Structure 1
Amino acid sequence: MATSGRDGAQGRPVVRHVDDDERRARLGVRHALAAPRATPEEVAVALVVLHATDPGSVHLSCWARMPDGVDVVAEVDRALATDRTLVKQLAMRRTLFAAPRDLLGALWPSAAARVARTEGLRMAQDVERAGLADDGQVWLGRARAAVLAALADEPDGLLALQVRQRVPELQVRLDVAPSASWTGSRVLTHLGATGDVLRGRNEGGWRTSRPRWLPTAAWLDPVGGPPPVLDAAAGYRELVRRWLAAFGPGTEEDVVWWLGATKAAARQALDELGAVVVTLDGDRLGWLLPDDVDPVGAADPWVALLPVLDPTVMGWKGRGWYLGDLGPQLFDRNGNAGPTAWVDGRVVGGWTRGPSGELRLHLLVPVADDARRGLVAQAERLGALLEGTEGSGVITTPLGRAAAPG
């Protein structure tokens, strides 16, 4: 393995240069966009996790990466509700993901635990500021125990509204800055972050979210039980390993941002993995797994229409190499991605739905005729899938506002 004379991050030698063309080729192959995957489970593994804040995005991310003719909605519902090979879990950056079941053992002690600590402290402080209790942590512990007791007698789980109706501690509203928030929902969220409860079957359509909440064992025991739980350092290490395999090379800033963790946690994971340093275009340093340093050739041509918060567009903090200057039109003010259109590893536009539900393709940069035809064909397929459905509208971008009726 040849090295240059230049020192990389943390004193490591630089292995080689990976230009933006190779990064785009890696993206197409690793993210199942240049070649489809057969099942939702294979798609999730390729992307580490699937974003699930918008419930329909799980299905649409899989649709973009699975063969034509597959009933993707039924397949994703099977994975989520029947086989439970994909499980929804709050984790990195306080984001809800659909994760491969075996990854829960890494998520719970690391990224999810970090979210739980932050949320628990904030909720306890809000309880005290609102005068609900003198000791917010004691109140939170009591409320958590009451929710678990209510769920223990319900083998099919309860909707969030049903939980609040049955647990007196949750029938309060805290009016605290920056905005009023329902304490009941926050307690369920905290229990989910700590891995004590999970979102089970969805009572709504595939583009809405009305999950039944169950104790973790009740949801997972019928399919073999929860996976072994790692310690925090091992959990972060496994997350970084999978991220590098799917998204590498990435900068340290990319890793820290995606993990929603500290630089210390990211650096420890990179060190323990023996990650190697490469240079990137723009005079930046990136990281790869030590067995993933061989050059990757160009992928076959491909096009894709990806949903809001798709893992590919949200996978890196530094996005110029695939997004160009389109970010202000396709992302909201919080840095969340709306629907995007792709050609060979580059974002070329987005898509919206018209007043009658028809799908509209918006190309913001010139594309070749073959790519345009491919995107139009994808838009027709996606429009047929979405016909008669309504999304949750969790992300509103400038492009979406500009394309809205009126």
Structure 2
Amino acid sequence: MTVLDSRALNRAALARQLLLDRSDMTVLEAVAHLGGLQAQEPQEPFHGLWSRLRAFDPATLSELLTGRQVVRTHLMRRTVHLVTADDALAWRSRHDAMLRQKVLGVYRRELDGVDLDELAAAGRAAMADGEPRTLAELARAVAGRWPAVPPRVLGEMLVTALVPTVQLPPRGLWRARAGVRNARLSSWLGREVAPPSTDGSDPVGQALVRRYLAAFGPAASADLRAWCGLAGLPAAVAALRGELVAFRDERGRELLDLPDAPRPDPGTPAPVRFLPAFDNAILGYHDRGRIIDDAHRGLSVAGARVVLVDGRVAATWDVAAATVTVTPLRRFSRADRDAVAEEGEALAAFLSGSDGESHRVRIADGPAATP
């Protein structure tokens, strides 16, 4: 069986993630191809798409949100993702059990004795008029039935797990600052969530496997699980095995992939890319070694924005006082520094936009951590 080293896996991941070459996909096509973008920080999807699309206009993504073609909803790993409306409706039921279990894992003691089906029914009734509700408003609407449970716990269980909801605009629009207002997914989209499969065939699970490999492969089953948070996909993988190809990584793990998916030559040059906080190009794997060193792995869950140099995390970046500041994690060569500065200037121009504020780039001296 062919062994793929970390550089081969890196270039494959970059190609699938639209980070090796900026894509001419539409914004909607890109969101669908990527299986959604992590979006608990509302502005980060804009940064992520700018790094991936050749002519990205942030207004287009805002229009897709207000036009109800993409939505912000709790899905993979119980985190807020920006996904297409079609994917939200198709995938939500398959994630229901995982979402419940993850919220219960945090609030099992507080929710002891609460009939979750009854709580879900109360939540749906409270949202039946279609009016948006904040988490606090929704919690107050049902709290009288469970006075011993902290209202926030009731609200979080409802909007995260029990009732498929979306976070409504202006939350998540370009340059907008807005609190979270929730509506039922079916009410916002005018379509019902697809019901779970009852014949054991798990077509949604199989679709998730294919979509994951298209955007992240080659990958192991543990990587798939790390991306979506679902433990019950071995049957879907087994059902698809005949149409997949298999490799090994340097640790001996089996990696599966779609036969015709891109696997570029490991020597393919990789341009500098600025990634947003919590980008799935890093978080979408159990073994993140293909893109980030173990010494810096903590950055991927700490909300750091990172810079890829030669395809790997080599710096962090942030914006303050109209300045994009890059903080290296290792010493840059002159060529690396020039390439980071050039891409940083392009990012600064994107962030400046038409609001009259001009951004600049600053690269800090020396590594910020032991390489």
Supply the distance in 1 between the matched residues of 2:14 and 2:120 (Cα, whole angstroms). 44
Give matches, 1:5-84, under 5 Å.
14=1, 16-37=2-23, 38-68=25-55, 70-72=56-58, 74-82=59-67, 84=68
Equivalence for 1:163: 138
Equivalent of residue 128 in structure 2, options 144, 148, 152: 152
What per-residue deviation string (whole Å, max 9, x for no partner) do you get for residues 288-322 of structure 1? 12444x75335454111111101101121112232
Question: In the alignment, residue 160 of structure 2 is paired with which amino acid?
Answer: T
Equivalence for 2:154: 183
| Alpha-carbon shift at residue 260 of structure 1 (Å) | 1.7
The alignment's TM-score, normalised by the length of structure 1, stands at: 0.74
The alignment's TM-score, normalised by the length of structure 2, stands at: 0.80
Equivalent of residue 323 in structure 1, options 280, 292, 295: 292
User: Relative to structure 1, is the Cα distance of residues 47 and 201 closer, same or farther in structure 2, using a 3 angstrom cutoff?
Assistant: same
Identity over aligned residues, as a percent? Answer: 24
User: Relative to structure 1, is the Cα distance of residues 289 and 41 closer, same or farther in structure 2, using a 3 angstrom cutoff?
Assistant: same
Supply the distance in 1 between the matched residues of 2:229 and 2:204 (Cα, whole angstroms). 13
Supply the distance in 2 between the matched residues of 1:136 and 1:153 (Cα, whole angstroms). 25
Equivalence for 1:199: 167
Q: Superposition RMSD on alpha carbons, in Å?
A: 3.3
Q: Does residue 238 of structure 2 align to residue 271 of structure 1?
A: yes
Equivalence for 2:114: 136
User: Relative to structure 1, is the Cα distance of residues 209 and 170 closer, same or farther in structure 2, using a 3 angstrom cutoff?
Assistant: farther
Equivalent of residue 312 in structure 2, options 346, 363, 387: 346
Q: Is the 8 A contact 1:250 1:287 kept in 2?
A: yes
Supply the distance in 2 between the matched residues of 1:29 and 1:189 (Cα, whole angstroms). 32
Equivalence for 1:132: none
Supply the distance in 2 between the matched residues of 1:127 and 1:102 (Cα, whole angstroms). 32
Question: In the alignment, residue 337 of structure 2 is paired with which amino acid?
Answer: R
| Alpha-carbon shift at residue 167 of structure 1 (Å) | 4.6
Question: In the alignment, residue 210 of structure 2 is paired with which amino acid?
Answer: R
Q: Is the 8 A contact 2:224 2:284 kept in 1?
A: no
What per-residue deviation string (whole Å, max 9, x for no partner) do you get for residues 342-392 of structure 1? 0232111111234x3522101222445444323223323434555699xxx
Supply the distance in 2 between the matched residues of 1:27 and 1:204 (Cα, whole angstroms). 27
| Alpha-carbon shift at residue 252 of structure 1 (Å) | 2.6
Q: Does residue 62 of structure 2 align to residue 96 of structure 1?
A: no
Unaligned residue ranges in structure 1 (runs of 5+): 1-13, 129-134, 390-401
Q: Is the 8 A contact 1:173 1:183 kept in 2?
A: no
Q: Is the 8 A contact 2:62 2:173 kept in 1?
A: no
Q: Is the 8 A contact 1:170 1:184 kept in 2?
A: no
Count matched residues: 348
Q: Is the 8 A contact 1:322 1:347 kept in 2?
A: yes
Q: Is the 8 A contact 2:143 2:154 kept in 1?
A: no
SS across alignment from 2:22:
coil
Q: Does residue 222 of structure 2 align to residue 245 of structure 1?
A: no
Q: Is the 8 A contact 2:104 2:111 kept in 1?
A: no
Q: Is the 8 A contact 1:248 1:288 kept in 2?
A: yes
What per-residue deviation string (whole Å, max 9, x for no partner) do you get for residues 186-243 of structure 1? 3222334xx3x3222235764655233222222112xxx3464452722222111111
Supply the distance in 2 between the matched residues of 1:300 and 1:226 (Cα, whole angstroms). 45
Supply the distance in 1 between the matched residues of 2:141 and 2:224 (Cα, whole angstroms). 42
Q: Is the 8 A contact 1:51 1:58 kept in 2?
A: yes
Supply the distance in 2 between the matched residues of 1:230 and 1:166 (Cα, whole angstroms). 28
Equivalence for 1:398: none
What per-residue deviation string (whole Å, max 9, x for no partner) do you get for residues 96-136 of structure 1? 211222223442232343212553687575244xxxxxx41
Supply the distance in 1 between the matched residues of 2:148 and 2:322 (Cα, whole angstroms). 37
What per-residue deviation string (whole Å, max 9, x for no partner) do you get for residues 13-46 of structure 1? x3x2222222222222211112223432222233
Supply the distance in 2 between the matched residues of 1:123 and 1:347 (Cα, whole angstroms). 35
Q: Is the 8 A contact 2:123 2:138 kept in 1?
A: yes
Supply the distance in 2 between the matched residues of 1:250 and 1:370 (Cα, whole angstroms). 32
Equivalence for 1:399: none
Supply the distance in 2 between the matched residues of 1:112 and 1:302 (Cα, whole angstroms). 39
Supply the distance in 1 between the matched residues of 2:229 and 2:319 (Cα, whole angstroms). 32
| Alpha-carbon shift at residue 79 of structure 1 (Å) | 1.7
SS across alignment from 2:110:
helix
